[in-house]
Amino acid sequence: MFQLGAMLLLLRTTLRRVFARGLPLHELARQLHEMGNRTLPLVLVGLGCFGAALVAHADHEAKPIVQDIVVVGPPALHLLTRELGPILVGGLAALQLGSMIAAELGTMAEGEQLEALVMTGGDPYAELVAPRLVAGVLVMPVLFTAGLAMAALCARLTATYVYGSDGAAWTDALMTSRGDFVYGYAKAAIMGLAIPLAGSLHGLRARGGASAVGAATTAGAVTSFLAMMAIDLGAAALSAALGAY
C-alpha cells in the first residue's frame, strides 16, 4: 500500500526506458523460461493438493448434510475459477517469483553490478526489469490455466476413486460462465505485472551486505503477496459495484 506509489514510479520509469532502448528478447525468453518453469511445478502441486483437499473437505463436512457431494462440484468449480484459483496461483507465484526476483536483482545490486551495468552503457530498467514484467504478464495466465485444470482434475479423481462419487461434477462448468473465466484470467494477468514489479522494486534497492539481500527478498515476497491480495480484493469490489456477481 505504501509501496504502491513506488511501484507505479518504477513502472513508469521502466516503460520510458523500454520505449527508448527496446526490450532485449533473449532476456525475455530466459525469463519466460525461468519464471514459468520454476513456478509451474509449485502451482501444479499446490493446486492439485487443493483440489483433492476440496473434495475431502466436502466429504467430511457436507456429507452429513447433502448426502451426495456431487452437488458441491459445480459451485466449487465456479468459486475456483473466480476466486480461489487466482488467489492460490497468485499467492504461490507471488511467494516464488517475488522472492526469486528480489533475491537475484538484490544480489546484483549489492555487488554493484547494476552500477557497472550503467557505466558500461546498459540500463537496469530496460534490460532487467522490463523482461520480467512482460514475462510475468505472459506466464501468469498460463499458470492459472494449468493450476485450474490441475485442481479440477485432482478433485474429479479424488471424488471418483477415493469417495466413490461422480467425479464429473467437479469438472462441470455448469455454474461457471465464460465471463467468470475472463474475470479469472484478467486477475491473473494483472498479478503477472504486479508480482515482478514488487520483486524488482525491492531487489534494485538492496545495499549493504548479505543481510540486505535477505531483507530485500523478504520485502519482495511480502509486497508481491500483498499486491496480489489487493488486486483480488479490488477486483471483487469492482465486480460487486458493477453488479456482475
Partner 1 sequence: MSVHVRELRIDVPGFGLGPLSFDVENGQALLVFGPSRAGKTALLKALVGFAPARGQVRVEGAEVDLAKPTGIDALRSHAGMVFQNDALFDALTVRENVAEPLRRRRISDAGIRITQALNDVGLLDAANKLPEQLSGGMRKRAGLARAFAMDPAVLLVDEPLAGLDPGTQKRIASLLAAARARGRALVIAVADPAPLWGLADSALALEDGRIVAHGKPDDVRRAAAPLLGAA
Partner 2 sequence: MNSLAAFGQLSLVAARALMAGPRLWGRELMRTLARFGTGSLVIAICVAMATGAIIVLETAAYTMSFGARDILGGMASISILREFGPLMVALVMSGWVGASNTAELGNLTLGGQVSALRGLGADPYEVLVAPRLLGTVLAMALIALPADFAAVLGGVAAARIVLGVEPAMFFHSIDQWVKLRDILEGLLKTVCFGAAIGLLSSRSGLSTRGGARAVGRSVATSVVQSVVAVLILDFAITALVGGRL
Binding partner of 119, given partner 1, partner 2, none, CB within 5-8 angstroms per partner class: partner 1
Of residues 25-64, which lie at the interface with partner 2 (CB under 8 A)? 34, 38-39, 41-42, 45-46, 49, 53-54, 57-58, 61-62
Binding partner of 112, given partner 1, partner 2, none, CB within 5-8 angstroms per partner class: partner 1
Q: Give how many residues touch partner 2 by CB under 8 A.
A: 56
- Measured at the CA of 63, the angle between CA 91 and CA 43, to 5 degrees, comes to 20
Distance CA 133, CA 226 (A): 17
CB of 234 to partner 1, least distance (A): 35
Binding letters toward partner 1, positions 115-144, x by CB under 8 A: xxxxxxxx----------------------
Distances (CA, A) of 5 to 1, 11, 14, 108: 8, 10, 14, 24
**Among 60, 68, 112, 237, which residue sits at the site for partner 1 (rule: CB under 8 A)?**
112
| CA Rg value for the chain | 20
Binding partner of 84, given partner 2, partner 1, none, CB within 5-8 angstroms per partner class: partner 2
**Among 21, 91, 122, 149, which residue sits at the site for partner 2 (rule: CB under 8 A)?**
91
DSSP 86-128: HHHHHHHHHHHHHHHHHHHHHHHHHTTHHHHHHHTT--HIIII
Provide the 8-state DSSP code for 30.
H
- Of 12, 171, 197, give the one whose Cα is nearest residue 77: 171
**Among 23, 79, 146, 173, which residue sits at the site for partner 2 (rule: CB under 8 A)?**
79
Provide the 8-state DSSP code for 70.
G
Distances (CA, A) of 44 to 31, 84, 85, 141, 160: 19, 14, 12, 14, 20
Binding partner of 222, given partner 1, partner 2, none, CB within 5-8 angstroms per partner class: partner 2
Binding interface with partner 2 (CB under 8 A)? 34, 38-39, 41-42, 45-46, 49, 53-54, 57-58, 61-62, 65-66, 72, 75-76, 79, 83-84, 87, 91-92, 94-96, 98-108, 110-111, 113, 209-211, 213-218, 221-222, 225-226, 229
Binding interface with partner 1 (CB under 8 A)? 111-113, 115-122
